[in-house]
Amino acid sequence: MKLYGIPNCDTVKKARSWLADANIGYEWHDFKKQGVTSELLGGWAAQVGWEKLVNKAGTTWRKLDDATKAGVVDTDSAIALMMAQPSVIKRPVLDSNGTISVGFSTERYEALLK
């Protein structure tokens, strides 16, 4: 199991705390320090859709200029943005045996990790 995100994100902190409290081990991957590849993002997008991966409610998205926002129209353009601005990726991303979960909710993690 691998958890992707950035350590100062509140939602990532909740996910990490939940996993620790449940005594579930995982490998940690920090977007900011370790980056992400277009292949990884493409695999995630194929499974959950690029729309779910781009966090349009976050500060990073809101700070983008209108032309950049308007240019995100498909998987390729979304991946290009996420490669350039990893903070725009909705967090955390959990890879549990190849099943991708984006964001955190106790119910989803409990169901996924049974």
DSSP output for 93-105 = EEEETTEEEES--
Q: Locate 52 and state its tokens.
A: 């779910």
9 is catalytic: yes
For residue 3 the two structure tokens come to: 């958890």
Q: Which residue is catalytic, options 3, 9, 12, 81? A: 9
112 CA to centre of own chain: 16
Q: How far apart are CA 1 and CA 97, in angstroms?
A: 6
Name the pairing type of β-strands 27-30 and 93-96: unpaired
What residues are labeled active site?
9
